[in-house]
Amino acid sequence: MHTTFERLRELLAEIHDLSAAMSLLEWDMEVMMPPKGAVARGAQLATLAAIRHRLQTSPELARLLDDLARRTTDSDEARLVAEARHDYERATKLPESFVRRFAEAQSAGYNAWLGAKANSDFAAFRPHLETLLELAREATGHYGYEGSPYNALLDNFERGMRAERLRPLLADLAARQKQLVARIVEHQAPRNDAWLEGTWDIAAQRAFSLRVLADMGYDLDAGRLDTAPHPFCTHFDIQDVRITTRYDERDPFSALFSTMHEAGHALYDQGFDPAWNRTPLADAPSLGIHECNSRMWENIVGRSEAFWTHYLPVLREHFPGRLDGVSVGQVLGVVNRVAPSLIRVESDECTYNLHVIARFELEMDLIEGRLAVADLPEAWNARYREYLGIEVPDDAHGCLQDVHWSHGMFGYFPTYTLGNLYAAQVFETACAEMPTLWDDIAAGRLLPLREWLRTKIHLVGRRHMAPDIVRSITGSEPAADAFLAYLERKFGAA
Ligand code: ZN
């Protein structure tokens, strides 16, 4: 028995190591690689992906899983066998010919999207998107599903969540958030940010970010902070979890918040149970629960009055003389400004979900066959008019702005909003269980929150699905009430 389980762990570790090697090549591609390395890098990644797929679908793995399913009783071991079985089945459900066609369509789609976005030329992207949508719909058939075919795709990103639950949850959220945004915008104080003018030294921005990272408990001996065009977090092991950010010389906050966001992801990855390193149990069960961590640190903590009570004086030390006359209130006025806008990744906390919900509804319509790709730009613009009250001037600022669909990733978007909802719900419980939490944050003591998240979420890994984790922490189902109450408290009185 023991040897069989040990053999399973060996196989899972090999699969993990190949994934880690691929992630390292991808990290290098974003951070270090010279442009001419791109073609060879594509080939290297494809070779590793093929070897990994062979291991993931090997007859030996299938035999071990069958064997252990009958004999394993220890709860962690049984959990690992079940998760490995899930991964095995997902990997074997897609025929190899489909995987190849999909990979080709992804790379053609991504390249076409880059050009189409640069020229705001939807017609150039349209045939690729049609192919990718067709393939996504074909994938739902291979995976199999109950209810909406969207569920088969959602499973790749947010296991345990269903379209039938999401649809009413997000429709209700959109209606309530739309009203709230209208009210806030009407009563918001005029801009008061002349003090931001001029340049903000990038070395000083980086030093300030590193100070906050250290306070958050991000282990820099098991991580790195680099720059990349699109900030991200990646990990190859619990002891090697890297983040990237990007700096804006005109804005001292943009890099900080993207760094705190990615560090929220990184604390999760550094906090998995070491006993199950190199297995699926040392991983997150969904993207939504990952975003729960990143958004909590970036928004609930990073954009709070308590945080800036401590960190405005620290920021002053990094920019001598620049912030002497600036108050915490003025900083909050800048970092919490609410304004309906065109671009999701630049949007504020109050309008962000509206961008996501528009995408979720559009991709549900695409996958369920109610919307043709040709009609997407018009449908997109109508959603923006309805939810954000703004006119989309061109497709580059509309339906071509995000990369996800060019990779054939349908079902990804709602995880962003679920992350916001989970974060508000989980943070409410954190406050109830740690009555001094806000005082700690106001004194620059960020470790108690990290420790609490470590016990409640990080160490759990994939033993439970995201909705179950949220329910076990908060005692209630994932819902929108805590998030709306949070927005109301923070912005409603404005
Ligand atoms: Zn994130």
pLDDT tens-digit map of 269-321: 999 999 999 999 999 999 999 999 999 999 999 999 999 999 999 999 999 99
- Calculate how far, in angstroms, residue 273's C-alpha sits from the geometric centre of ligand 1: 21
- Calculate how far, in angstroms, residue 305's C-alpha sits from the geometric centre of ligand 1: 23
Q: How far is CA 200 from the centre of its chain?
A: 28
pLDDT in tens, 381-432: 999 999 999 999 999 999 999 999 999 999 999 999 999 999 999 999 999 9
Given a cut of 80, whether residue 18 has pLDDT beyond it is yes
- Calculate how far, in angstroms, residue 259's C-alpha sits from the geometric centre of ligand 1: 10
pLDDT at 283: 97
Given a cut of 80, whether residue 2 has pLDDT beyond it is no
- Calculate how far, in angstroms, residue 241's C-alpha sits from the geometric centre of ligand 1: 14
- Calculate how far, in angstroms, residue 261's C-alpha sits from the geometric centre of ligand 1: 6
pLDDT at 71: 84
Q: Do residues 238 and 269 lie in contact, with contact meaning Cβ atoms separated by under 8 Å?
A: yes
- Calculate how far, in angstroms, residue 379's C-alpha sits from the geometric centre of ligand 1: 27
Q: How confident is the model at residue 143 (pLDDT cuts 50, 70, 90)?
A: very high
- Calculate how far, in angstroms, residue 229's C-alpha sits from the geometric centre of ligand 1: 15
- Calculate how far, in angstroms, residue 477's C-alpha sits from the geometric centre of ligand 1: 22
pLDDT in tens, 78-109: 999 999 999 999 999 998 889 889 988 988 89
Q: What is the rounded distance in angstroms from the CA atom of residue 424 to the CA atom of residue 430? A: 10
Q: How confident is the model at residue 493 (pLDDT cuts 50, 70, 90)?
A: low
pLDDT at 494: 47
Given a cut of 70, whether residue 484 has pLDDT beyond it is yes
Please name every residue paired with 108 in a beta bridge, in sequence order, or none if there are none.
none
- Calculate how far, in angstroms, residue 6's C-alpha sits from the geometric centre of ligand 1: 34
Q: What is the pTM of this model?
A: 0.95
Given a cut of 60, whether residue 478 has pLDDT beyond it is yes
pLDDT in tens, 166-211: 999 999 999 999 999 999 999 888 888 999 999 999 999 999 999 9
CA angle 483/487/492 to nearest 5° reads: 145
Q: Which of 77, 83, 158, 262 is catalytic?
A: 262
Question: Does 14 participate in catalysis according to the annotation?
Answer: no
Q: How many CB atoms lie within 10 A of CB 394?
A: 14
Q: What is the rounded distance in angstroms from the CA atom of residue 430 to the CA atom of residue 65? A: 38
Query: Helix, strand or coil for residue 120?
Result: coil
